[in-house]
Structure 1
Amino acid sequence: MSSSLVDTVADTPFRRLAEQIAGAVVTPSDPDWDVVRQAWNLSNDQRPDVVVVPADAADVSTAVLFARDNALRIVPQGTGHLASPLGDLAGSLLLNTSALRSVEVDAENETVRVGAGVVWGEATGELAQFGLTALAGSSPDVGIAGYMLGGGYSWLARNRGLATSTVTAIDVVTADGRPLHVTADVEPDLFWALRGGGGNTAIVTSISFRVFPIADVYAGMMLFPLARAGEVLRAYEEWTRDLSDQATTCVRLVRLPPMPELPDFLRGQSFAAVDGAINAPDDEAEKLLEPLRELGPAIDTFARIPASQLGMIHMDPPTPVPAVGDGMILDDLTPEAIDALLAVAGPEAETHLLAVDLRHLGGAVGVPAPDGGAIDHLPGRFLLYAVGVTPDAESAAAMQVDVDGIRDALAPWANPLDYSNFREVKTDPSRFYSAETLERLRAVKNRYDPDRVIRTSHELF
């Protein structure tokens, strides 16, 4: 670390750490404190004791040993997505891995290795140069490592399964500071636990996974006036009953704010929307979409696009925002369930929600992957996520009521399990794993982190 940066670290033990690493050590007395401690969701006012921004895996090991010596827990965080369940970070060292940004594409073997700070937009751009694509998330600014560790639902999920099942190797630093290269053959229990069990058992510094020779897909969105939400929801539910696994889509109820950066046709408008991707030739994709096109969407952008542009179709915010959100898995979307959803989020409902998404499950994502990890598939028919923007504490409280109202209204159709990447509140781990899987995850945690130094959004105990 440069002497000028060391000089800014006023706290003596943190100064000693700053002298030992190539990256940065930032405390509340430093001018960039509010930047490096920031989560992606600006509603989360993270206040750890110190933030370490490692430059490499050696820095991570040094930070881990420092944390142990100073009775601090370690909170690894790349982009800061899913920070809400963490709560108070007092007594913690926030390990901001955003500087670990390497992307190494092995086009011949159709794999890629990325650092723990790489976001999907960076990786998909690199892969596109080789005609390759990954099972990327719907937001290009989401960190790959966190997404993969929790499961990973992509626009190719029904065709290819969960992204975590494509992982081939993970480089980690254990809770006692040891670097390990983890594969199915080397530390196999840890490899299993990391794929779906989150970052509870070790700190990821890089992750390697398979990619696919897919240069383009038939994808886009259809927008209908929100007043037609009931009609669209019922038609979409019927359409998905025997839909080809080539199609991975989502139906949404969206209320867009009058933001100047939005195009005129979206600004301040409300829609029932269907978006997603179909990994098939144009004629097959168009035939699959016929029942929805017969509804007469006001806007229809479905067309063949570069696979690297899939992150654009869901219209997720491109930069950090203050928000409240939460999700659940639905076993079914019966007429009664649709009525319940419309009552709390339909055109006549008084709600502050920005969007309620219902992502179609089944297909390859509903089948356990061979040699998969702790999460090898997702049950149910639909993956729901509700979210709203919250510029202040008062709006956040109102938004939480609306988000909870969605979960309450649809509780009769909920699966017993949740998807951890979509739960934004502290949740009992039994909601994410079967009893057998949770027992095995806890055994791995006790083996690799018996003192429970590593702390993540959804803990195992």
Structure 2
Amino acid sequence: MFNEAHLDTYKAQLRGTLIQPDDAAYDEARKVYNAMIDKRPRLIARCADVADVIASVNFARENQLLLAVRGGGHNGGGLGTCDDGLVIDLSRLRGVRVDAKAHTVRAEGGCTWGDVDHATHAFGMATPAGIISTTGVGGLTLGGGIGHLSRRFGLTIDNLLGVDMVLADGSFVTANAKENADLFWAVRGGGGNFGVVTSFEYRLHPLSTVVAGPTLWPMERSAEVFKWYRDFIGKAPTELNGFFAFLTVPPGPPFPEELHLKKMCGVVWCYSGDPAQAEEALAPVRAMNPALYGVGPMPYPMLQSAFDALYPPGHQWYWRADFVNELPDEAIGLHVEYGAQLPTMQSSMHLYPIDGAVQRVGRKDTPFSYRDARWASVIVGVDPDPANRDRITDWCKNYWDALHPYSAGGAYINFMMDEGEDRVKATYREHYDRLAAIKRQYDPGNLFRVNQNIRPVATA
């Protein structure tokens, strides 16, 4: 453990704030999005700039402190915090700069997707991200980046042009297709294993208005709708994205009062092509006679923030996930069985399509090894009440256990809890050894291990 002289020297190096357990701000500062995670770091460095990040990495390494890195804090497994160690909190690094001529945006490591969308929308552009605007850009990007625009524009990592990083030895590097290309390959899906990313540069696409929103059907039609969706989405134009869900209808607008708190199945659509052609693309959806057709034109940031109020920080979360190649009728039957047992109003199952543009990127081009999968599924148990922790967890685990035999094997790492090394290896498959070799080069001591960890061992 460090001595007070070391700590005083470190504090003097910081432009930001160093928060300790006796400080009034500590309990608020140690919170993460998932209230099921309740950890007590020894130090929280709320970094003001890259120099603070460098000082913090050096202090953790030199004093053999467990180190966690937090951007948006959304990680379900709570991998942005730790007990008794140092948390590098990037939340003050929120700068966003759009280069309208080059169609790029640079976002600092503490940004949320709401920050990025706000800046890019003013120029009529966007880059693919997730589905909740309070999500941090760092965690989502480093794990892959699945969202509303995946079928048309690919994953977030497919639009990542470069990163600035602080490495385990405290050095600052840029990684892109020309500089440190091996490191750039690794961060496009390899998680936070390789350093602290202080800024990301993304490619932008012309996009302002989308035609989007939910369609809902009664639960008793869920098997029929699920089978229709399975057959429809892969043949739909890539401008049309839609993820299937089991849900309890929230008791408020825009949902009609007669549907409030009903368990239903649905699809949340996003048509990102020419709005004049949206009706034609969505005609098969209308033909399925949904109980609610809530699709209409809206600014893209409006869609990205549509779920923010439903999923505020501070709720209990437990989730399990899988990639899926095929959905036989037997698997759909199990989905319907467990989907009808949603334990709380905010619990859900989402099935995200990852075909189209996602599959046009080579399997070896990034660590994201499931380019051949058609969907990424996630089962989420959510509730504000800690008393329901076991209820949501048990439902989620039982649901996942029943469907896992029908999976492709691994899972989207951003949807994983702390599930062990074998699960991480199953997710990276043949890329794991290459990632481990790059890890050995850039972080031989495994300083960055509060993540879906890749151990720094050399390839055979």
Q: TM-score, normalised by structure 2?
A: 0.91
CA–CA distance in structure 2, aligned partners of residues 24 and 407 of structure 1:
41
Report the Cα offset of residue 32 of structure 1: 0.7
CA–CA distance in structure 1, aligned partners of residues 61 and 324 of structure 2:
42
- Residue 142 of structure 1: which of 129, 132, 135 is its match? 135
Query: Equivalent residue for 1:181?
Result: 174
Match status 1:271 vs 2:264: yes
Distance 1:266 1:134, change over 3 A: farther
Distance 1:61 1:261, change over 3 A: farther
Structure 1 gaps of 5+ residues are 1-9
Distance 1:37 1:12, change over 3 A: farther
Distance 1:220 1:391, change over 3 A: closer
The equivalences for 1:226-241 within 5 A come to: 226-241=219-234
3-state DSSP class of the match of 2:69? strand
Query: Equivalent residue for 1:190?
Result: 183
Match status 1:58 vs 2:67: no
Distance 1:258 1:278, change over 3 A: closer
Report the Cα offset of residue 266 of structure 1: 6.2
Contact 2:32-2:313 at 8 Å conserved across structures: no
CA–CA distance in structure 2, aligned partners of residues 37 and 323 of structure 1:
17
The equivalences for 1:198-209 within 5 A come to: 198-209=191-202
CA–CA distance in structure 2, aligned partners of residues 118 and 12 of structure 1:
33
Match status 1:447 vs 2:447: no
3-state DSSP class of the match of 2:18? strand
Query: Equivalent residue for 1:432?
Result: 427
Report the Cα offset of residue 146 of structure 1: 1.1
Report the Cα offset of residue 369 of structure 1: 4.5
CA–CA distance in structure 2, aligned partners of residues 370 and 332 of structure 1:
19
Report the Cα offset of residue 305 of structure 1: 1.8
The farther-off stretch of 417-426 and 253-262 is 253-262
Report the Cα offset of residue 377 of structure 1: 5.7
Q: Deviations over 1:16-70 (max 9, x none)?
A: 3222100011111111111111111111002122111110000001111111221
Match status 1:44 vs 2:37: yes
Distance 1:83 1:268, change over 3 A: closer
Paired residue type of 2:65: L
Contact 1:138-1:155 at 8 Å conserved across structures: yes
Q: TM-score, normalised by structure 1?
A: 0.91
Report the Cα offset of residue 85 of structure 1: 5.9
Query: Equivalent residue for 1:336?
Result: 330
Over aligned residue pairs, what C-alpha RMSD do you find? 2.4
The equivalences for 1:49-448 within 5 A come to: 49-84=42-77, 86=79, 89-256=82-249, 264=257, 267-314=260-307, 317-346=311-340, 349=341, 351-352=343-344, 354-369=347-362, 372-375=365-368, 378-428=371-421, 429-435=424-430, 437-448=431-442
Q: Deviations over 1:341-372 (max 9, x none)?
A: 111222xx374471111112211112324983
Contact 1:195-1:373 at 8 Å conserved across structures: yes
How many residues in Structure 1 have an aligned counterpart in Structure 2? Answer: 449
- Sequence identity (%): 29
Report the Cα offset of residue 313 of structure 1: 4.4
CA–CA distance in structure 2, aligned partners of residues 39 and 350 of structure 1:
25
Report the Cα offset of residue 81 of structure 1: 1.7
CA–CA distance in structure 2, aligned partners of residues 227 and 314 of structure 1:
25
Report the Cα offset of residue 282 of structure 1: 3.5
3-state DSSP class of the match of 1:196? coil
Paired residue type of 1:408: D
Contact 2:347-2:392 at 8 Å conserved across structures: no
CA–CA distance in structure 2, aligned partners of residues 423 and 199 of structure 1:
14
Contact 2:215-2:266 at 8 Å conserved across structures: yes
CA–CA distance in structure 2, aligned partners of residues 370 and 83 of structure 1:
26
Structure 2 gaps of 5+ residues are 456-460
Contact 1:161-1:377 at 8 Å conserved across structures: no
The farther-off stretch of 314-323 and 325-334 is 314-323
CA–CA distance in structure 2, aligned partners of residues 395 and 370 of structure 1:
40
3-state DSSP class of the match of 2:31? coil
